[in-house]
């Protein structure tokens, strides 16, 4: 999420060589997702959830953190569209790269404690469709994000790789939010 797409560096090598550079990051990302899922499945859920003062329950803490991450995720997509010149009549301001990098970092760092609480306290669960989808997407998110981060510094990749990776990360994040925070707020009410 810290891309400066179409930056100065030229693309050396041909396209097939570029795609080859995706193999190792993809394997590592897959391993990250798999590790999280296996840990969540094997580790016995403790139910331990650290609450924060001012919130009714840890569920609200997680839902609000997930919502913050999702809002920054939306900033990610908008800033990326601006950077790529996809929004008509909007020229990318000089600070758009910084905005994109930092909104991504914040979204990621805010999502991490939520994921730890989920995996440690609740584990990888399958007892309903919502929960199964959430468990799968939650693990997939960190795998996809890892891939995105690992391919960012690489040069000579096909032009579609970063937008695709970003789109996957964002789509998964939205899926996570709808199967958790949205469900939580609509079930238990929208407050702290």
Partner 1 sequence: MKPNMPLVTLLSGAGLGVGVLVVSMLSPSSTSSASGYGATSPASATTAATSPLTPATASASESATLPATAAATAPATASATAVASAPATAPGTAPGAVPTATASAQKADVPAKADYVAQVNGGGAAVAISVHAGKAVAYVCNGHAVAAWLRGTATAGKLDLTGKNGARLDVSYRSEKATGFIMADGIKYTFSAPLVHRVSSVHRPPGLYEATGMVDGVSIKAGWVVLPGGGQVGSVEYDPSSAVAPTAQAPVLDLTTGTAQYDGITLVASLISGFTGSGF
User: What residues line the site for partner 1 (CB under 8 A)?
Assistant: 1-2, 45-59, 101, 104-105, 108-109, 112-113, 115-117, 120-122, 125-128, 145-146, 148-150, 152-153, 187-188
Contact 1, 108 (CB under 8 A): yes
The rounded distance, in Å, linking the Cα atoms of 189 and 132 is 23
Q: Which two tokens stand for residue 134?
A: 């959430």
Supply the minimum distance, in Å, between the C-beta of residue 188 and partner 1.
5
If the CB atoms of residues 177 and 184 are measured against partner 1, the closer one turns out to be: 184
Supply the minimum distance, in Å, between the C-beta of residue 153 and partner 1.
5
If the CB atoms of residues 122 and 137 are measured against partner 1, the closer one turns out to be: 122
95: number of Cβ within 10 Å: 10
Supply the minimum distance, in Å, between the C-beta of residue 22 and partner 1.
14
Taking each helix axis as running N to C, give the angle between helix 96-117 and helix 129-151, from 0 to 180 degrees, rounded to the nearest 10: 140
Rg from Cα positions in the chain: 18
If the CB atoms of residues 2 and 67 are measured against partner 1, the closer one turns out to be: 2
The rounded distance, in Å, linking the Cα atoms of 64 and 181 is 7
If the CB atoms of residues 43 and 87 are measured against partner 1, the closer one turns out to be: 43
Supply the minimum distance, in Å, between the C-beta of residue 88 and partner 1.
30
């Amino acid at each position: 999420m810290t891309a400066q797409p179409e930056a100065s560096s030229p693309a050396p090598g041909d396209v097939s060589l570029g795609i080859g550079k995706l193999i190792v990051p993809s394997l590592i990302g897959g391993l990250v997702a798999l590790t999280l899922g296996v840990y969540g499945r094997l580790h016995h859920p403790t139910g331990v959830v650290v609450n924060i003062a001012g919130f009714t329950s840890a569920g609200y803490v997680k839902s609000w953190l997930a919502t913050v991450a999702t809002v920054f995720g939306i900033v990610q997509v908008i800033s990326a569209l601006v950077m790529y010149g996809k929004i008509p009549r909007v020229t990318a301001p000089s600070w758009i790269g910084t905005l994109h990098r930092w909104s991504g970092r914040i979204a990621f760092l805010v999502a991490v404690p939520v994921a730890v609480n989920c995996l440690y306290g609740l584990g990888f669960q399958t007892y309903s469709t919502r929960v199964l989808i959430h468990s799968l997407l939650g693990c997939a998110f960190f795998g996809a994000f890892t891939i995105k981060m690992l391919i960012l510094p690489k040069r000579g990749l096909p032009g579609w790789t970063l937008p695709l990776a970003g789109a996957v990360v964002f789509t998964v994040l939205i899926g996570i939010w709808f199967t958790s925070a949205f469900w939580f707020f609509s079930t238990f009410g929208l407050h702290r």
